[in-house]
Structure 1
Protein backbone atom coordinates (compact mmCIF):
# COMPACT_ATOMS: atom_id res chain seq x y z
CA UNK A 1 0.00 0.00 0.00
CA UNK A 2 1.27 3.45 -0.90
CA UNK A 3 1.93 5.73 2.04
CA UNK A 4 -0.04 8.96 1.84
CA UNK A 5 -0.99 11.82 4.11
CA UNK A 6 -4.69 12.50 4.64
CA UNK A 7 -5.77 15.87 5.97
CA UNK A 8 -8.71 18.27 5.91
CA UNK A 9 -9.06 20.47 2.85
CA UNK A 10 -7.77 24.04 2.97
CA UNK A 11 -8.99 26.96 0.81
CA UNK A 12 -5.65 27.01 -1.03
CA UNK A 13 -6.34 23.45 -2.26
CA UNK A 14 -9.23 24.65 -4.42
CA UNK A 15 -7.52 24.80 -7.84
CA UNK A 16 -6.02 21.31 -7.55
CA UNK A 17 -9.30 19.88 -6.19
CA UNK A 18 -11.22 21.40 -9.13
CA UNK A 19 -8.66 19.97 -11.56
CA UNK A 20 -8.93 16.47 -10.07
CA UNK A 21 -12.74 16.59 -10.13
CA UNK A 22 -12.71 17.24 -13.88
CA UNK A 23 -10.27 14.36 -14.38
CA UNK A 24 -12.28 11.88 -12.32
CA UNK A 25 -15.90 12.56 -13.28
CA UNK A 26 -17.74 13.10 -16.57
CA UNK A 27 -18.80 16.74 -17.04
CA UNK A 28 -22.47 15.96 -16.30
CA UNK A 29 -21.56 14.40 -12.94
CA UNK A 30 -18.59 16.53 -11.83
CA UNK A 31 -19.10 19.17 -9.20
CA UNK A 32 -18.80 22.67 -10.59
CA UNK A 33 -15.96 24.94 -9.52
CA UNK A 34 -18.50 27.07 -7.65
CA UNK A 35 -19.91 24.03 -5.85
CA UNK A 36 -16.45 22.79 -4.85
CA UNK A 37 -15.50 26.23 -3.54
CA UNK A 38 -18.73 26.37 -1.52
CA UNK A 39 -18.14 22.88 -0.08
CA UNK A 40 -14.60 23.73 0.97
CA UNK A 41 -15.93 26.81 2.80
CA UNK A 42 -19.05 25.19 4.29
CA UNK A 43 -17.88 21.79 5.53
CA UNK A 44 -14.09 21.32 5.49
CA UNK A 45 -14.55 18.82 8.33
CA UNK A 46 -16.15 16.47 5.77
CA UNK A 47 -13.62 17.06 3.01
CA UNK A 48 -10.37 15.08 3.11
CA UNK A 49 -7.33 15.42 0.86
CA UNK A 50 -4.85 12.63 0.02
CA UNK A 51 -1.28 13.79 -0.59
CA UNK A 52 1.78 11.94 -1.80
CA UNK A 53 5.02 13.84 -1.14
CA UNK A 54 3.09 17.10 -0.82
CA UNK A 55 1.10 16.68 -4.05
CA UNK A 56 -2.69 16.26 -3.90
CA UNK A 57 -3.58 12.99 -5.62
CA UNK A 58 -7.17 12.56 -4.49
CA UNK A 59 -9.94 13.51 -2.12
CA UNK A 60 -13.27 12.50 -0.65
CA UNK A 61 -15.99 14.96 0.27
CA UNK A 62 -19.53 15.13 1.53
CA UNK A 63 -21.85 16.81 3.99
CA UNK A 64 -23.94 15.95 7.03
CA UNK A 65 -27.65 15.26 6.63
CA UNK A 66 -30.55 13.63 8.40
CA UNK A 67 -31.72 12.02 5.18
CA UNK A 68 -31.16 8.24 4.97
CA UNK A 69 -30.35 8.60 1.24
CA UNK A 70 -28.68 11.12 -1.04
CA UNK A 71 -31.04 13.37 -2.96
CA UNK A 72 -29.94 15.51 -5.90
CA UNK A 73 -30.25 18.89 -4.15
CA UNK A 74 -27.46 17.88 -1.74
CA UNK A 75 -24.95 18.07 -4.60
CA UNK A 76 -25.84 21.60 -5.64
CA UNK A 77 -26.40 23.53 -2.41
CA UNK A 78 -24.50 23.62 0.86
CA UNK A 79 -27.72 24.85 2.52
CA UNK A 80 -28.68 21.19 3.01
CA UNK A 81 -25.66 20.60 5.30
CA UNK A 82 -26.89 19.97 8.86
CA UNK A 83 -23.80 20.12 11.11
CA UNK A 84 -25.43 18.08 13.91
CA UNK A 85 -27.16 15.64 11.54
CA UNK A 86 -27.12 11.86 11.76
CA UNK A 87 -25.51 10.78 8.49
CA UNK A 88 -22.44 11.67 6.49
CA UNK A 89 -23.34 11.80 2.79
CA UNK A 90 -20.46 11.14 0.39
CA UNK A 91 -20.48 13.27 -2.76
CA UNK A 92 -17.34 12.05 -4.41
CA UNK A 93 -14.28 9.87 -4.04
CA UNK A 94 -11.64 11.08 -6.48
CA UNK A 95 -8.19 9.59 -7.14
CA UNK A 96 -6.12 10.61 -10.15
CA UNK A 97 -5.65 7.79 -12.67
CA UNK A 98 -1.96 7.09 -12.00
CA UNK A 99 -2.72 6.34 -8.33
CA UNK A 100 -5.79 4.14 -8.83
CA UNK A 101 -5.82 0.49 -7.73
CA UNK A 102 -3.17 1.22 -5.11
CA UNK A 103 -5.42 1.49 -2.04
CA UNK A 104 -5.69 5.29 -2.01
CA UNK A 105 -9.50 5.34 -2.37
CA UNK A 106 -9.87 2.80 0.44
CA UNK A 107 -7.58 4.85 2.70
CA UNK A 108 -9.63 7.98 2.00
CA UNK A 109 -12.92 6.19 2.55
CA UNK A 110 -11.72 4.55 5.78
CA UNK A 111 -10.54 7.95 7.03
CA UNK A 112 -13.97 9.44 6.29
CA UNK A 113 -15.74 6.49 7.96
CA UNK A 114 -13.63 6.90 11.09
CA UNK A 115 -14.33 10.65 11.14
CA UNK A 116 -18.07 9.92 10.89
CA UNK A 117 -17.88 7.41 13.76
CA UNK A 118 -15.78 9.75 15.90
CA UNK A 119 -18.28 12.58 15.50
CA UNK A 120 -21.26 10.45 16.50
CA UNK A 121 -22.86 9.91 13.10
CA UNK A 122 -25.18 6.92 12.71
CA UNK A 123 -24.15 6.07 9.15
CA UNK A 124 -22.30 6.99 5.99
CA UNK A 125 -24.43 7.10 2.85
CA UNK A 126 -23.49 7.32 -0.81
CA UNK A 127 -24.67 6.59 -4.31
CA UNK A 128 -22.64 4.68 -6.85
CA UNK A 129 -22.96 3.15 -10.27
CA UNK A 130 -23.60 -0.56 -10.73
CA UNK A 131 -19.94 -1.42 -11.41
CA UNK A 132 -18.91 0.03 -8.01
CA UNK A 133 -21.54 -1.67 -5.83
CA UNK A 134 -19.22 -4.62 -5.13
CA UNK A 135 -16.34 -2.30 -4.18
CA UNK A 136 -18.43 -0.43 -1.61
CA UNK A 137 -19.87 -3.69 -0.29
CA UNK A 138 -16.27 -4.80 0.33
CA UNK A 139 -15.92 -1.75 2.60
CA UNK A 140 -19.03 -2.76 4.58
CA UNK A 141 -21.74 -0.82 2.78
CA UNK A 142 -25.14 -2.39 2.11
CA UNK A 143 -26.80 -1.97 -1.28
CA UNK A 144 -30.29 -0.55 -0.77
CA UNK A 145 -31.22 -0.78 -4.45
CA UNK A 146 -31.82 1.80 -7.13
CA UNK A 147 -31.61 5.41 -6.00
CA UNK A 148 -34.14 8.10 -6.81
CA UNK A 149 -31.15 10.32 -7.65
CA UNK A 150 -30.76 11.11 -11.32
CA UNK A 151 -27.61 13.22 -10.81
CA UNK A 152 -25.78 13.75 -14.09
CA UNK A 153 -28.42 11.73 -15.94
CA UNK A 154 -27.04 8.45 -14.58
CA UNK A 155 -28.51 5.48 -12.74
CA UNK A 156 -27.29 5.17 -9.15
CA UNK A 157 -27.57 2.73 -6.27
CA UNK A 158 -28.11 3.80 -2.66
CA UNK A 159 -25.45 2.43 -0.30
CA UNK A 160 -25.40 2.65 3.50
CA UNK A 161 -22.79 1.85 6.12
CA UNK A 162 -24.51 1.83 9.51
CA UNK A 163 -22.57 2.00 12.77
Structure 2
Protein backbone atom coordinates (compact mmCIF):
# COMPACT_ATOMS: atom_id res chain seq x y z
CA UNK A 1 0.00 0.00 0.00
CA UNK A 2 1.41 3.40 -0.99
CA UNK A 3 1.59 6.14 1.63
CA UNK A 4 -1.80 7.75 2.09
CA UNK A 5 -2.70 11.23 3.24
CA UNK A 6 -6.12 12.46 4.33
CA UNK A 7 -7.48 15.98 4.42
CA UNK A 8 -10.67 18.00 4.40
CA UNK A 9 -11.98 18.78 0.91
CA UNK A 10 -11.68 22.25 -0.60
CA UNK A 11 -13.68 23.65 -3.55
CA UNK A 12 -10.84 22.86 -5.98
CA UNK A 13 -11.37 19.12 -5.23
CA UNK A 14 -14.88 19.05 -6.70
CA UNK A 15 -13.92 18.24 -10.31
CA UNK A 16 -11.65 15.29 -9.39
CA UNK A 17 -14.18 13.96 -6.86
CA UNK A 18 -16.91 14.17 -9.50
CA UNK A 19 -14.67 12.31 -11.95
CA UNK A 20 -14.09 9.50 -9.44
CA UNK A 21 -17.76 9.36 -8.46
CA UNK A 22 -18.82 9.18 -12.12
CA UNK A 23 -16.56 6.23 -12.97
CA UNK A 24 -17.01 4.32 -9.70
CA UNK A 25 -20.79 4.42 -9.36
CA UNK A 26 -23.35 2.86 -11.68
CA UNK A 27 -25.89 4.79 -13.71
CA UNK A 28 -27.74 7.54 -11.93
CA UNK A 29 -26.44 6.71 -8.45
CA UNK A 30 -23.44 9.05 -8.87
CA UNK A 31 -23.77 12.52 -7.39
CA UNK A 32 -23.75 15.44 -9.81
CA UNK A 33 -20.94 17.98 -9.84
CA UNK A 34 -23.36 20.50 -8.32
CA UNK A 35 -24.11 18.16 -5.40
CA UNK A 36 -20.41 17.61 -4.78
CA UNK A 37 -19.81 21.37 -4.79
CA UNK A 38 -22.69 21.79 -2.31
CA UNK A 39 -21.33 19.08 0.00
CA UNK A 40 -17.84 20.60 0.02
CA UNK A 41 -19.04 24.16 0.59
CA UNK A 42 -21.73 23.34 3.18
CA UNK A 43 -19.94 20.68 5.24
CA UNK A 44 -16.21 20.41 4.48
CA UNK A 45 -15.69 18.82 7.92
CA UNK A 46 -17.62 15.80 6.68
CA UNK A 47 -15.86 15.56 3.32
CA UNK A 48 -12.66 13.53 3.63
CA UNK A 49 -10.30 13.32 0.65
CA UNK A 50 -7.70 10.54 0.39
CA UNK A 51 -4.54 11.01 -1.63
CA UNK A 52 -1.45 9.04 -2.58
CA UNK A 53 1.56 10.66 -4.20
CA UNK A 54 -0.38 13.94 -4.35
CA UNK A 55 -3.26 12.47 -6.37
CA UNK A 56 -6.81 12.25 -5.05
CA UNK A 57 -7.86 8.61 -5.27
CA UNK A 58 -10.95 8.51 -3.06
CA UNK A 59 -13.26 10.34 -0.72
CA UNK A 60 -16.11 10.09 1.77
CA UNK A 61 -18.74 12.79 2.08
CA UNK A 62 -21.50 13.19 4.60
CA UNK A 63 -24.00 15.41 6.33
CA UNK A 64 -25.44 15.46 9.85
CA UNK A 65 -28.99 15.15 11.09
CA UNK A 66 -30.90 15.02 14.36
CA UNK A 67 -33.33 12.46 12.93
CA UNK A 68 -32.00 10.22 10.18
CA UNK A 69 -34.26 9.32 7.25
CA UNK A 70 -32.03 7.45 4.82
CA UNK A 71 -34.54 7.63 1.95
CA UNK A 72 -34.62 11.46 2.07
CA UNK A 73 -33.33 12.45 -1.39
CA UNK A 74 -33.22 16.17 -0.52
CA UNK A 75 -30.68 15.43 2.20
CA UNK A 76 -28.19 14.45 -0.54
CA UNK A 77 -28.12 18.18 -1.29
CA UNK A 78 -27.78 18.82 2.46
CA UNK A 79 -31.36 20.07 2.83
CA UNK A 80 -31.98 19.64 6.56
CA UNK A 81 -28.27 19.20 7.34
CA UNK A 82 -27.17 20.56 10.73
CA UNK A 83 -23.40 20.42 11.33
CA UNK A 84 -23.88 20.13 15.10
CA UNK A 85 -26.37 17.25 14.89
CA UNK A 86 -25.13 14.02 16.49
CA UNK A 87 -25.84 11.63 13.60
CA UNK A 88 -23.61 11.44 10.53
CA UNK A 89 -25.10 10.30 7.23
CA UNK A 90 -22.56 9.12 4.65
CA UNK A 91 -23.56 9.86 1.07
CA UNK A 92 -20.50 8.55 -0.81
CA UNK A 93 -17.61 6.22 -0.06
CA UNK A 94 -15.68 5.98 -3.29
CA UNK A 95 -12.27 4.86 -4.52
CA UNK A 96 -11.00 5.40 -8.05
CA UNK A 97 -11.39 1.96 -9.67
CA UNK A 98 -7.69 2.03 -10.66
CA UNK A 99 -6.85 1.98 -6.91
CA UNK A 100 -9.43 -0.52 -5.67
CA UNK A 101 -8.43 -3.80 -4.06
CA UNK A 102 -5.52 -2.43 -2.02
CA UNK A 103 -7.23 -1.80 1.32
CA UNK A 104 -7.58 1.94 0.69
CA UNK A 105 -11.34 1.99 1.40
CA UNK A 106 -10.73 0.42 4.82
CA UNK A 107 -8.00 2.94 5.66
CA UNK A 108 -10.21 5.82 4.53
CA UNK A 109 -13.22 4.58 6.49
CA UNK A 110 -11.14 4.11 9.66
CA UNK A 111 -9.81 7.66 9.35
CA UNK A 112 -13.32 9.02 8.80
CA UNK A 113 -14.73 7.14 11.82
CA UNK A 114 -11.89 8.43 14.01
CA UNK A 115 -12.58 12.01 12.91
CA UNK A 116 -16.32 11.67 13.61
CA UNK A 117 -15.58 10.26 17.08
CA UNK A 118 -13.28 13.19 17.76
CA UNK A 119 -16.03 15.54 16.60
CA UNK A 120 -18.34 14.04 19.25
CA UNK A 121 -20.77 12.40 16.85
CA UNK A 122 -22.93 9.52 18.16
CA UNK A 123 -23.72 7.43 15.07
CA UNK A 124 -22.72 7.02 11.44
CA UNK A 125 -25.40 5.87 8.98
CA UNK A 126 -24.97 4.67 5.42
CA UNK A 127 -26.75 2.86 2.63
CA UNK A 128 -25.02 0.23 0.54
CA UNK A 129 -25.74 -2.44 -2.01
CA UNK A 130 -26.20 -5.99 -0.79
CA UNK A 131 -22.72 -7.00 -1.97
CA UNK A 132 -21.16 -4.46 0.43
CA UNK A 133 -23.11 -5.37 3.59
CA UNK A 134 -20.44 -7.84 4.78
CA UNK A 135 -17.65 -5.33 4.10
CA UNK A 136 -19.30 -2.68 6.27
CA UNK A 137 -20.15 -5.25 8.95
CA UNK A 138 -16.40 -6.00 9.22
CA UNK A 139 -15.86 -2.26 9.73
CA UNK A 140 -18.21 -2.27 12.73
CA UNK A 141 -21.52 -1.31 11.13
CA UNK A 142 -24.64 -3.26 11.96
CA UNK A 143 -27.40 -4.06 9.51
CA UNK A 144 -30.62 -2.12 10.05
CA UNK A 145 -33.00 -2.99 7.19
CA UNK A 146 -33.60 -2.88 3.46
CA UNK A 147 -33.96 0.80 2.58
CA UNK A 148 -37.09 2.45 1.23
CA UNK A 149 -34.78 4.47 -1.02
CA UNK A 150 -34.67 3.65 -4.71
CA UNK A 151 -31.84 6.09 -5.42
CA UNK A 152 -30.50 5.44 -8.92
CA UNK A 153 -33.29 2.85 -9.35
CA UNK A 154 -31.34 0.38 -7.19
CA UNK A 155 -31.95 -1.63 -4.03
CA UNK A 156 -30.16 -0.36 -0.93
CA UNK A 157 -29.54 -1.58 2.61
CA UNK A 158 -29.27 0.65 5.67
CA UNK A 159 -26.44 0.21 8.17
CA UNK A 160 -25.35 2.11 11.28
CA UNK A 161 -22.31 2.34 13.52
CA UNK A 162 -22.64 3.50 17.11
CA UNK A 163 -19.73 5.69 18.13
Conserved in 2, the CA contact under 8 Å of 1:20 and 1:94? yes
Give the structure 2 partner of residue 86 of structure 1.
86
Mapping of residues 7-46 of structure 1, within 5 Å: 7-46=7-46
1:79 aligned counterpart, secondary structure? coil
Conserved in 1, the CA contact under 8 Å of 2:70 and 2:149? yes
Give the structure 2 partner of residue 110 of structure 1.
110
Tell me how far 1:69 sits from its aligned partner. 4.3
d(CA) in 1 for partners of 2:123 and 2:147?
17
d(CA) in 1 for partners of 2:90 and 2:4?
21
Structure 1: 4+ residue segments shifted above 2 A: none
Deviations 1:10-34 (A, max 9, x none): 1111111111110111231000111
Number of equivalent positions: 162
d(CA) in 2 for partners of 1:111 and 1:80?
25
1:73 aligns with 2:74: yes
d(CA) in 1 for partners of 2:66 and 2:148?
17
RMSD: 1.1
Q: Which runs of 5+ in 1 are unaligned?
A: none
d(CA) in 1 for partners of 2:143 and 2:69?
11
Deviations 1:78-111 (A, max 9, x none): 2221111111111011101121111111111111
| TM-score, normalisation: structure 1 | 0.95
Give the structure 1 partner of residue 58 of structure 2.
58
d(CA) in 2 for partners of 1:50 and 1:147?
28
Conserved in 2, the CA contact under 8 Å of 1:2 and 1:104? no
d(CA) in 2 for partners of 1:155 and 1:30?
14
d(CA) in 2 for partners of 1:108 and 1:66?
25
Could you tell which deviates more after superposition, 65-74 or 122-131? 65-74
Conserved in 2, the CA contact under 8 Å of 1:24 and 1:94? yes
Q: Which runs of 5+ in 2 are unaligned?
A: none
1:84 aligned counterpart, secondary structure? coil
Give the structure 2 partner of residue 155 of structure 1.
155
d(CA) in 2 for partners of 1:160 and 1:121?
13
